[in-house]
Amino acid sequence: MATLDDDLGSKLPRGVLSDLGGWTLYQSFRTFTWPWLLRRGVVFWPLALLAGSAFAAWHASGMGAWSDWLPLAARACLATLLTVSTGPALATLVRHLHPPEIVERALVVVAIAVGLWVGLVALRWAGEFHDHLMAGYSNRPMQVSVFGQAMSRFFRASIDASVFVWIFAGGGLATIYYFGERRRIAQYAARRQVESLRAERDAADMRLAVLQAQVEPHFLFNTLASVRSLIAGEPERAAQTIDALAGYLRATLPRFREAGPAEATLDRQIDLCRGYLELMRVRMAGRLTVRVEADAAMRALPFPPLLLLTLVENAVTHGVEPKPGPGEIAIVARVEGETLSVSVEDDGAGLAEGVTPGVGLANVRAQLASLFGDRATLDVASRSEGGVRARIRVPLGGA
């Protein structure tokens, strides 16, 4: 894919321009490119023609010899045009040959130096012709005004290769700008990349927030539906379940909102799951047991919020609850190389044939993809001893 620096014909973004490039016609394009050269010519060529013509007019008016104006103007204009154009044109040709960067920079310097030398020769050629004309008026005093004297000093300084010719008109200043251009483009590209990554992160956080927001009502609606089923037959246990639910939500709901992906740890997620499972144990009349295998070091590791709770809820709803008799749910954490593996295992009814994964598991996969891309996985499989194992693997250290 072409980068910003590869496209020599396009206009530079405002963020790339230096203080010198915001107000000129030509510095909005890459230095020493054809669009830059053409627009620079629109600025410099009229000035060069004006300078050459004015120099000839100064001579003709001062000596009273207007017949000298045309030949002197022609030579002076040609000299100034060569001075302002030769170096930049050669440097532009070099850049469009696309040599390696180091070679290009060296050749650009050589091109500007050659252009300045050509300009010097041309200016001296025009100056020598002027001296030849003046030799014919050796006995005639030159009548010049104060303005004429100033013009004389200016143009003679140009013919003698002043700083103006070397640094500005001949392309020396443009060379300085050229050397800073790649740095400005790199800085601009870095800023754009940071902005793009920030926008992608914000979009991912938004998607994640939406997905997480779907978990809370899913969990609540399922719990309330189960409470409703108890009200008619076992009102006392329904009341205990509601009390347990109220206590659980009071303790955990604020944490749902406060803990983002960066602050979530496996310990916090296990605590949320234990609170939920305690609520389910009350509702199921104590026939549910819970086992957790995760040492303190693993509990301190980052782990995405609410995903483990979704797996636990699935294990209760589709595994332990439909199966008569006691049931167990185990949360098992392991470190496998550079991966944290966390499983939710149940000894319940197992996977039903032909049943597709529900919204909860799809939600978990979407959140893992949003946070980790292809570096995290969720797999669900039957256990040989009965029941189901749902396992999440995430990179150690989080996203």
Domain boundaries, the chain: 14-170, 200-395
Q: Which residue has the higher pLDDT, 250 or 86?
A: 86
Angle at 388 between CA 276 and CA 397, to 5 degrees: 65
Q: Is pLDDT above 90 for 392?
A: yes
Q: Is pLDDT above 50 for 195?
A: yes
Bridge-based pairing of strands 288-293 and 339-346 is unpaired
Residue 299 CA to residue 117 CA, distance in Å, equals 74
Task: Tell me the CA end-to-end span of the chain in Å, nearest whole number.
Answer: 28
Q: Which residue has the higher pLDDT, 261 or 13?
A: 13
Who contacts 175 (Cβ-Cβ below 8 Å, separation ≥6)?
31, 91, 108, 109, 112
Q: Which residue has the higher pLDDT, 257 or 323?
A: 323
Provide the strand spans (E) within 271-362. Answer: 288-293, 327-336, 339-346
Q: Indicate the class that CATH gives domain 200-395.
A: alpha beta
Helix axes of 307-314 and 266-283: crossing angle, nearest 10 degrees = 30
By the 8 A CB rule, do 110 and 177 touch?
Answer: no
Q: Which residue has the higher pLDDT, 240 or 85?
A: 85
Residue 181 CA to residue 187 CA, distance in Å, equals 10
Report in angstroms the alpha-carbon separations of 368 from 271, 303, 363, 395, 397.
Answer: 21, 11, 9, 11, 14
Average the pLDDT over each of 105-114, 177-186, 189-198, 202-211 and give the range with the smallest value.
Answer: 202-211
- Per-range mean pLDDT, top range of 20-24, 71-75, 256-260: 71-75
Q: Which residue has the higher pLDDT, 169 or 72?
A: 72
Q: Which residue has the higher pLDDT, 146 or 273?
A: 273
What is residue 353's predicted lDDT score, i.e. its pLDDT? 66
Confidence of residue 351 (pLDDT cuts 50, 70, 90): confident
Tracing tokens 């949320």 back to the chain, one arrives at: 272
What is residue 30's predicted lDDT score, i.e. its pLDDT? 82
What is residue 180's predicted lDDT score, i.e. its pLDDT? 80
Q: Which residue has the higher pLDDT, 149 or 56?
A: 56
Tracing tokens 């490039």 back to the chain, one arrives at: 21
